Structures are given as C-alpha cells and as structure tokens.
Amino acid sequence: RRNSTGSLAGGAAKDNAGVPGRVRVAVRLRPRNAEELVEDADFADCVELQPELKRLKLRKNNWDSDTYEFDEVLTEFASQKRVYEVVAKPVVESVLDGYNGTIMAYGQTGTGKTYTLGRLGEEDTAARGIMVRAMEDILADVSLETDSVSVSYLQVVSLKAPYTYMQLYMETIQDLLDPANDNIPIVEDPKTGDVSVPGATLVEIRDQHSFVELLRLGEAHRFAANTKLNTESSRSHAILMVHVKRSVKARDSAFSSENGNSPHMKTLKPSLVRKGKLVVVDLAGSERIDKSGSEGHTLEEAKSINLSLSALGKCINALAENSAHVPVRTARTSLVITIGPSPRHRGETASTIMFGQRKERLKYQKDYMDSIKKLEEQLVKNQQKNGSEKVPVG
C-alpha cells in the first residue's frame, strides 16, 4: 500500500519536493534516551523501521503490527547531515530559485523536533540542525554584494488560555528578536495569498556566525517569555522566516539571447529581482493538541486573537497537499514527523504517525479551519450582544 504521494522508492528527493502543492513527508525516530534504555530494557520498541522499503511498522502487540509508508524513513542512526539532505535541501534549493518553501516538524514533546530543526551544533558541527545548515547553503550560494538574506524569528503563543485546539483561540505572535513586540499583526496579500509579518524585526544576515547568534538570542527570548507567561515552550510554535532576495543579471535570465542585437533585448530589464522565502516551523508538541472546542472564551480574551490570517493557519493549509489554500502556487513543503521508540508512548506515536498520512492532514486542516470559522461566528454573536465592543476580526 503506497501512501497518496505515489512516491517511488529510490526516487531523488528533488523529484518529489519540486512538485508544487505536494508535501513530502519523512519520519524520524529518536534513539532511546538513558531513562528508556534502563526502564524499558525488557520491552521492544513500539516501532520497527524498514528504511530501504520506506516503511514503518507500528506494533499492535507481540505478534501483529500495522505498516505505514513515507517518502523517507530515518532511523535512530540517521545523521543530522542525512536528515538535512532528505528533508530540507530540496526546499532550500527551490528557495534559492525564488520560490517559497516550508519545512515543519511535528511530534510529541521530547521526540526531537528542536534537535532536528534548531540544534546549533557549536560543540559538535556534525550535530548542526536544519536551520543552521540551510543558512550555510544559502550563504554559500548568494553573493552579498548584489543579494540580501534577512531573517525574522517569531513564536506563536497562547496566553493564559487552557489547552485548546492548536492553541488557536488565544494565539498571539511574538517577535523572538524583540520580545516586547508581542502582538504582531499578519498581513495577507490578497492576490497571491502570501502571508507576511511587516511588524516583525527583520535582520540582515552577513555571515553564519551572526545568524547563529540570532538563533541563540531567539531561543533565550523564547525561554524567558514562556517562563514569564507561565507557559512551556512545548506549547508554542517557533517560526523562522528567511528572506532571500537576489539580483538576477539580464545575461543570466531565461530571456537572454546569444545574439546581443536581438529585438527582444529592447524589452529586457537590466536586472531582475528574484525573491524566495524559507519558513521553518517547530510546531508545539503534538500531545498538546486537544479538541476542547471554542466554548468558554471571553470576548476580552478573544480580542487579542488574530483570526483568519493566522500564519500557522497558512502553514497548516500548506500541509494539506493539493489544497486550494496552498499559500502560493509555487510553495514546496516538507514535513518531518518525529517519534520516540518507547512502548510507553505508543499511543502518541501512533497519532503522530497518522498525521504523516495525507488523509489525516486533510482532516486536521478541516478541523483547524472549522474551528476558526466557529470562533468567528461566536465573536460576531458576542459583538451583536454587546454593540459597544469592537472586535478586530481578520
């Protein structure tokens, strides 16, 4: 049984990731930690990986298991380098070509989302994660005389709300590079559907070192903000946006002709600008998602919510391949789902694996969008009840 992607084993990573609107899904198993090695020593892992077949078996009991297929199956022995090459590199390459790309990690807290995406790897360069490696590839490919690379780093947090479905109802966007800036609006281009956060700090990157420093600063702010708000970082989504702007010289453009006197040359602009954006999302721990619905939130609480234009909503949309809501026509999306081996977390692992299946993501997307709609309706009702209150609904 193939999953909906119809990917062929052995196909080059680029083949799949290069298809617009198509999500490439990899699963990564983290090794047992010290505690699991000791306490679960007598128990088998809850999964068995068959990387050559791109299959994962989820144990049901001692005799039986369910089989799932992925675009890529990364065992506990997969290096950070290999994970980068499989999950991220094709997306980064398309960003360098001027497209938008998204890389997301989804999984239970403690399964390696941040390890996979955000590890700085200063003590051990082999341990560098996707963000750092992506920037290395980007900086190696651009010329900073003519091109520019800049980043913003944000987190989507929920304030004092109980755990709610994807933290949607109390969602605010905070600038991790300027934490006082904690209610950033999101703007959607009506023509392209592209989402931007014009209020966010945008820092130009000149070298790898300053980028790593920014990531470190962002993480420190994330930690401090979550301590202050009495939330956990596992309840927030961290979003890194990398903007790559390149000047494409006329002679490099597809329109150029061998014959410099070609009549086409008259209409050729001296240079073109090509813009690509890479979005890397470290999602909140999947165990935090509960479908408690939109009841019970006050209008006051709801006022701080940026509703239908949620960046995360856009990302969730992008996860549902072939959806009409994919933010831009040329978006490339790569999803890595992270799982732990412990039989204790079999239930969570099972639901994470399900998320790797397209059908489930479509359902997840529908639930997410339905919950936005439901809340909007509720807000409108509240507004009608109390006419003096103004609610900034997207």
Query: Binding site: which residues?
Result: 107-114
- What CA–CA distance (Å, rounded) separates 231 from 228? 8
Considering the complex, state which of residue 82 and residue 325 has its C-beta at the smaller distance from ligand ADP: 82
* Binding pattern for the stretch 79-118 against Mg ion, x by CB under 5 A and - elsewhere: ----------------------------------xx----
How near is the Cβ of 111 to Mg ion at its closest, in Å? 9
Residue 164 interacts with Mg ion (CB under 5 A)? no
How near is the Cβ of 115 to ligand ADP at its closest, in Å? 3
How near is the Cβ of 242 to ligand ADP at its closest, in Å? 20
- What CA–CA distance (Å, rounded) separates 88 from 306? 29
The total number of residues written for the chain in this structure: 394
Residue list for the binding site for ATP? 107-114
Residue 31 touches which of Mg ion, ligand ADP, none (Cβ within 5-8 Å per kind): ligand ADP
Residue 236 interacts with ligand ADP (CB under 6 A)? no
Residue 200 CB partners (closer than 8 Å, separation 6+): 152, 154, 173, 175, 177, 181, 184, 241
For residues 312-371, which are near ligand ADP according to CB under 6 A? 338
For residues 38-57, which are near ligand ADP according to CB under 6 A? none
Considering the complex, state which of residue 114 and residue 371 has its C-beta at the smaller distance from Mg ion: 114
* Binding pattern for the stretch 97-136 against ligand ADP, x by CB under 6 A and - elsewhere: ----------x-xxxxxxx---------------------
Residue 30 interacts with ligand ADP (CB under 6 A)? yes
Residue 275 CB partners (closer than 8 Å, separation 6+): 98, 243, 244, 245, 246
Buried b (16+ CB within 10 A) or exposed e, 315-348: bbbbbbbebeebbbebbbbbbbbbbbbbbebbeb
For residues 111-150, which are near Mg ion according to CB under 5 A? 113-114
- What CA–CA distance (Å, rounded) separates 299 from 35? 45
Number of residues that bind ligand ADP (CB under 6 A): 12
How near is the Cβ of 288 to ligand ADP at its closest, in Å? 11
How near is the Cβ of 338 to ligand ADP at its closest, in Å? 6
Residues that bind ligand ADP (CB under 6 A): 30-31, 107, 109-115, 234, 338
Residues that bind Mg ion (CB under 5 A): 113-114
